[in-house]
Structure 1
Amino acid sequence: MKYDLKSIGTIETGERGFVIQLEKDFRSALTGLENFSHIQVYWWAHLLDRPEMRKLTTVEKPYVKSPDQLGIFATRSPVRPNPLAMTLVPLTFIDLAEGMAGLAYIDAEPGTPVLDIKPYYGMERVREYTVPSWCAHWPEWYEDAADFDWESEFVNAR
């Protein structure tokens, strides 16, 4: 089975900070998005899109408190069979004329292909959920994650 994904734009940085620069055909799709505080950005981790990386199904102890091995689907790693990533980000501005969506930050490199943008709705939160004990101490809320000591959580960051 083959699927045809098209980039709608790219992640860029410049005078206005992090932005999604849309292709001209998609600029009008930003209409009404300015009323949302956060968006979900779906992007292609193109720098990790290599045949050998797409074959990885497990990783060795990525987190300090995790088991010695985890399946790739139990991680947030961009190394995946399909390197599709999603980042929830604060929206800082919309410029319809230029086809730009401003972002407070995004964990993607300049030039990264953007596949889709969706508004974030509060109803997407899950009130009752479970996670493994090795990550139960991670922040529950997006706003708290920025101040969390993530460096101490990753084995390779130490």
Structure 2
Amino acid sequence: MREGEKQLGFDPSALPGDGHVVFIGRIRSPWTSREDCPKNMREARERGMPASVEIDSPYRAGLEGLERASHVVLLSWFDQAPRNLITQKPRYSPVPSGTFALRSPARPNPIGLHVARLVSLDREAGLLEIDAIDVLDDTPLLDVKPYFASIDAMPEATVRPANGEGDRI
């Protein structure tokens, strides 16, 4: 733990479940350690390493029509992330922030959100080739959705960093 970080008094993974979430596949990436893994999708794209998504057989029919999308939203499960940090101090920040003010994988429900360009789709094999990803190899997949720029993009959105210097993404 870094200075200023706080833990919950319990581990959310030990609580009874509120819903029955299933993994529908796996994300395949070139990243095998946290040290090598890009911290965000911008950095992943800058490295120029493509990735893929494997959809398990029972869910492949759900890919019908996805080939019309240029980009997809992937929801992943950060299975190796801690779940008990409620205040965190990122390396780049001068001050701690609440978990819900950060994009860190450490959170009570370690769900990742990724927007990737869909390079190709093989529905029968359940294989999506994507331009980049910022997760470790074999990360569980929760869901795939088409990205709609007309609905999902918010060009006016900003986040002020703790030091007041403008966006830090």
Query: Is residue 114 from structure 1 mapped to residue 141 from structure 2 by the alignment?
Result: yes
- The equivalent of 1:80 in structure 2 is 107
Q: Which amino acid aligns with 1:107?
A: D
- The equivalent of 1:156 in structure 2 is none
Give distance in 2, aligned partners of 1:106 and 1:13. Answer: 7
Residue 9 (structure 1) aligned to one of 19, 22, 25: 25
Higher alpha-carbon deviation: 71-80 or 123-132 = 123-132
Gaps of 5+ in 2: 1-16, 31-49
Q: In angstroms, what is the RMSD of aligned CA positions? A: 2.0
- The equivalent of 1:20 in structure 2 is 53
Q: Percent identity of the aligned residues?
A: 32
Post-superposition offset of 1:109: 1.6
Post-superposition offset of 1:136: 2.6
Structure 1 residues 28 and 135 mapped into 2: Cα distance closer, same or farther (>3 Å)?
farther
Decide which structure has greater helix share. 1
Residue 83 (structure 2) aligned to one of 36, 39, 54: 54
Post-superposition offset of 1:74: 0.7
CA-to-partner distance for each residue in 1:101-157, whole Å, 9 max, x for gaps? 111111112211100000000121124334214473447xxxxxxxxxxxxxxxxxx
Gaps of 5+ in 1: 140-158
Runs of 4+ in structure 1 off by over 6 angstroms are none
Give distance in 2, aligned partners of 1:78 and 1:69. Answer: 15
- Contact 2:72 2:145 (8 Å CA) reproduced: yes
Residues 76-155 of structure 1: pairs in structure 2 closer than 5 A: 76-122=103-149, 123-133=151-161, 134=164, 136-138=166-168
Q: Which amino acid aligns with 2:157?
A: Y
- The equivalent of 1:142 in structure 2 is none
Give the TM-score normalised by the residue count of structure 1. 0.74
Q: Alignment length, in residue pairs?
A: 131
Residue 62 (structure 2) aligned to one of 29, 36, 56: 29
Post-superposition offset of 1:99: 0.9
Give the TM-score normalised by the residue count of structure 2. 0.70
SS at the partner of 1:29? Answer: helix
